């Protein structure tokens, strides 16, 4: 049994790859932090297990779900790490790759979303990259399945066949190198830790990795613990960061090639300009939602529902009635089927079109990357109630279903903000409540259904926001929130 | 559209998590950033660094460019 771990920055397509490679299906969405815990699946017709991990920017975690990855690396040893990167943002993606390569486990780096890179008019010389980083480099487009077969064949290998790579050794400043070497030596000699792992532990410890520091404390690794003050006073963390960035910059400069550029970029960036416009952004946001409700209620959902209703209460029940009378069923049974089953199940069934359309709209929004932009547009308002634009995404997903919405709240860095977001999430009207709304609206306001439902939704939002402010005061939230999209 | 170039002067005064996150996005002292958009009422600022667009809060932006 071989284990392959998928690891990389958020929103680089790990889960998309995972779904293509394995027999399992996990949730994909176009914003940061979709995957919040690890998922395991098996590559078809093989005994290779694939582990999908949450996206991280570095092994030093800021949020809870990010620490899942570091803990995973500390505790289990995958046979192969597939580092999924966004090809057009290699500079920051490689910062993580370096940390992984230093671990010395076999790594394959795949430049995913290679279609996006080609559109920018740049390309990388893969051989140059592979030589500099000391591991195989592949390119994939997980959406159109380009390059997946080749990648799959490389993952489906016995442990013995997997090509070892020696850990990446960067040229850190002399003082740092010396500190790493000393710590590694005593870890190897006094604690019988494997040299490569000890080397990585030392670097991560010096680099202020919170999880590794906790690990060192738990295992009482004195060579590291005793030097902590010295490492921090010397600002080794900054030195390590600068060395890594300089290495990446020089590597990428030598590896960059230029293609003739295409025009595609301009279309998306034009749309981008409108939806993130400082003044238009908010109206556009409300407009998008209005459109969504119009679609679900006035244009598609309700007419379909009505037809379904007409079909059920008209032909189908008369037909069932006739049929049952003809076969001579008991009147009680007939009444059970016609008035109970058909009318009852039908009563719920007629709302299916509405729920379906709403769900479809939300998933289109999710996949288009609009969510991250909505977070930006709404941050200023959210800040007023002491939250973060990022809290907006969970709340919006909450419209589909509160449960997934609450799950999505995990990307929020501050624990208290996360708690507040979770608490106000249920105020967002989830789609299961839609039948009830529709029922009321249809009964009380037959004329302007979409407008009324929209206002119910906004009422929910307003109450939710007020509650957020209230909780905010209640919990004495002081920390500033990290807001970077 | 206010496309203006700034250089990052310092990370001092930002909390550790913010600094760390900005670092892991590849920003460092001396990086050149272009402002793409300012939101009204000192709302977020969109900056562009190496072809990636990042939204940061106005206060963070002021700190970075050293004002
Ligand atoms: N253009 C393009 N888009 C892709 C490619 N691979 C994935 N995507 C899209 O990128 C988005 C993110 O995909 P996910 O698989 O959820 O990303 P992830 O790495 O699992 O994200 P987290 O779980 O948040 O870390 C989705 O909208 C995908 O459709 C690709 O090769 N090219
Ligand atoms: Mg994922």
* pLDDT at position A304: 80
Mean pLDDT, chain A, rounded, equals: 80
Among A63-67, A172-176, B4-8, B17-21, name the one with the lowest average pLDDT.
Answer: A63-67
Q: Which DSSP symbol is given to A298?
A: I
Compute, in angstroms, the gap from residue A130 CA to the centroid of ligand 1. 23
CA-nearest residue to B45 within chain A is A376
Compute, in angstroms, the gap from residue A108 CA to the centroid of ligand 2. 18
Among all chains, which residue has been given the structure tokens 């009204």? B40
Q: Are A110 and A13 in contact (CB under 8 A)?
A: no
Q: What tens digit of pLDDT does each residue of A48-79 get?
A: 888 888 888 899 988 777 888 898 898 888 89
**Minimum-distance CB partner of A57 among B18, B21, B41:** B21
For residue A422, how many C-alpha atoms fall within 13 Å in the half-sphere facing its CB?
Answer: 14
Rounded to an integer, what distance in angstroms lies between the CA atom of residue A355 and that of residue B59? 41
The answer to whether A102 contacts chain B (CB < 8 Å) is: no
Q: What tens digit of pLDDT does each residue of B29-58 get?
A: 888 888 877 777 777 787 888 777 788 888
Architecture of domain B5-64: Roll (2.30)
Domain boundaries in chain B? 5-64
- The tokens for A239 are 């030195």
Q: Is the pTM of this model over 0.80?
A: no
Q: Are B55 and B46 in contact (CB under 8 A)?
A: yes
Q: Which DSSP symbol is given to A142?
A: T
Res A472 pLDDT > 80: no
User: Pick the residue with more confidence: A26 or A229?
Assistant: A229
Res A410 pLDDT > 60: yes
Residue A479: pLDDT band by 50, 70, 90 thresholds? very low
Q: What tens digit of pLDDT does each residue of A280-296 get?
A: 777 887 788 778 777 77
Architecture of domain A2-161: 3-Layer(aba) Sandwich (3.40)
Phi, psi of B6 (to 5 degrees): -130, 160
Domain boundaries in chain A? 2-161, 174-257, 281-474
Contacts of A276 in chain B (CB under 8 A): 37, 46
Residue-by-residue DSSP string for A65-90: HHHHHHHHHHH---SEEEEEEEGGGH
Domains A2-161 and A174-257 share a fold: no
Residue-by-residue DSSP string for A266-282: HHHHHHHHHHT-TTTHH
Residue numbers of B between 3 and 62 with CB closer than 8 Å to A: 15, 17-18, 20-26, 28, 37-44, 46, 50-52, 54-57, 59-60
Angle at A286 between CA A285 and CA A288, to 5 degrees: 65
Q: Do A278 and B26 touch (CB under 8 A)?
A: no
* pLDDT at position A102: 93
Among all chains, which residue has been given the structure tokens 């392959």? A4
User: Length of chain B, please?
Assistant: 67
Residues with Cβ within 8 Å of residue A212, at least 6 apart in sequence: A59, A70, A74, A201, A204, A205
Q: Do A279 and B21 touch (CB under 8 A)?
A: no
Res A274 pLDDT > 50: yes
Which ligand 1 atom sits closest to the C-alpha of A114?
31
First-to-final CA distance of chain A:
39
User: Pick the residue with more confidence: A208 or A395?
Assistant: A208
- The tokens for A335 are 């009444």
Contacts of A279 in chain B (CB under 8 A): 40
Res A111 pLDDT > 70: yes
Q: Where are the beta strands (DSSP E) in A9-47?
A: 39-42
- The tokens for A2 are 């071989």
Res A244 pLDDT > 70: yes
Q: Does domain A174-257 have CATH number 3.40.50?
A: no
Res A187 pLDDT > 90: yes
Residues with Cβ within 8 Å of residue A381, at least 6 apart in sequence: none
Q: Are A156 and A43 in contact (CB under 8 A)?
A: yes
* pLDDT at position A158: 66
């Amino acid at each position: 049994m071989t284990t392959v771990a998928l690891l990389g920055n958020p929103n680089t397509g790990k889960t998309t790859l995972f779904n293509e490679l394995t027999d399992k299906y996990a949730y994909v969405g176009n914003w940061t932090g979709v995957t919040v815990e690890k998922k395991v699946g098996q590559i078809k017709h093989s005994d290779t297990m694939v582990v999908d991990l949450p996206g991280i920017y570095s092994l030093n975690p800021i949020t809870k779900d990010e620490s899942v990855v570091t803990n995973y690396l500390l505790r289990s040893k995958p046979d192969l790490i597939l580092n999924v990167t966004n090809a057009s943002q290699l500079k920051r993606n490689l910062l993580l790759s370096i940390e992984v390569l230093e671990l010395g486990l076999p790594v394959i780096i795949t430049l995913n979303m290679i279609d996006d890179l080609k559109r920018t008019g740049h390309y990388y010389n893969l051989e140059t990259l592979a030589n500099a980083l000391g591991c195989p480099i592949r390119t994939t487009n997980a959406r159109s399945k380009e390059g997946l077969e080749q990648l799959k064949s490389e993952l489906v290998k016995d442990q013995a066949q997997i090509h070892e790579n020696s850990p990446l050794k960067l040229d850190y400043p002399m003082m740092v190198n010396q500190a790493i070497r000393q710590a590694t030596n005593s870890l190897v000699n006094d604690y019988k830790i494997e040299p490569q792992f000890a080397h990585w532990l030392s670097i991560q410890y010096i680099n202020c990795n919170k999880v590794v520091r906790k690990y060192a404390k738990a295992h009482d690794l004195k060579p590291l613990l005793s030097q902590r003050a010295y490492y921090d006073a010397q600002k080794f963390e900054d030195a390590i960061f600068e060395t890594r960035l300089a290495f990446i910059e020089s590597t990428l400069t030598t590896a960059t090639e230029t293609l003739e550029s295409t025009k595609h970029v301009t279309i998306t960036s034009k749309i981008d300009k409108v939806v993130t416009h400082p003044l238009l952004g908010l109206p556009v946001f409300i407009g998008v939602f209005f459109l969504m409700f119009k679609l679900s209620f006035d244009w598609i959902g309700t007419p379909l529902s009505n037809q379904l209703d007409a079909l059920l209460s008209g032909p189908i029940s008369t037909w069932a009635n006739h049929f049952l009378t003809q076969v001579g069923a008991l009147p009680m049974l007939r009444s059970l089927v016609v008035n109970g089953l058909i009318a009852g199940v039908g009563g719920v069934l007629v709302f299916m079109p509405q729920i379906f359309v709403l769900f479809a709209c939300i998933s289109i929004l999710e996949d288009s990357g609009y969510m991250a932009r909505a977070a930006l547009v709404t941050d200023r308002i959210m800040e007023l109630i002491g939250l973060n634009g990022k809290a907006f995404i969970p709340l919006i997903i909450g419209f589909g279903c509160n449960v997934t919405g609450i799950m999505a709240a995990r990307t929020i860095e501050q624990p208290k903000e996360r708690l507040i977001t979770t608490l106000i999430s249920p105020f967002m009207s989830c789609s299961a409540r839609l039948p009830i709304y529709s029922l009321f609206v249809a009964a009380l306001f037959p004329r302007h259904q979409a407008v009324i439902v929209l206002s119910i939704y906004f009422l929910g939002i307003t109450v939710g926001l007020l509650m957020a402010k209230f909780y905010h005061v209640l919990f004495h939230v002081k920390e500033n929130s990290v807001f970077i999209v | 559209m206010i496309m203006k170039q700034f250089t990052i002067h310092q990370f001092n005064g930002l909390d550790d998590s913010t600094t760390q996150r900005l670092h892991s996005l590849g920003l460092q002292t001396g990086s050149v950033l272009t402002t793409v958009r300012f939101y009204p009422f000192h709302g977020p600022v969109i900056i562009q660094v190496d072809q990636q667009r990042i939204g940061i809060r106005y206060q963070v932006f002021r700190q970075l460019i050293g004002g």
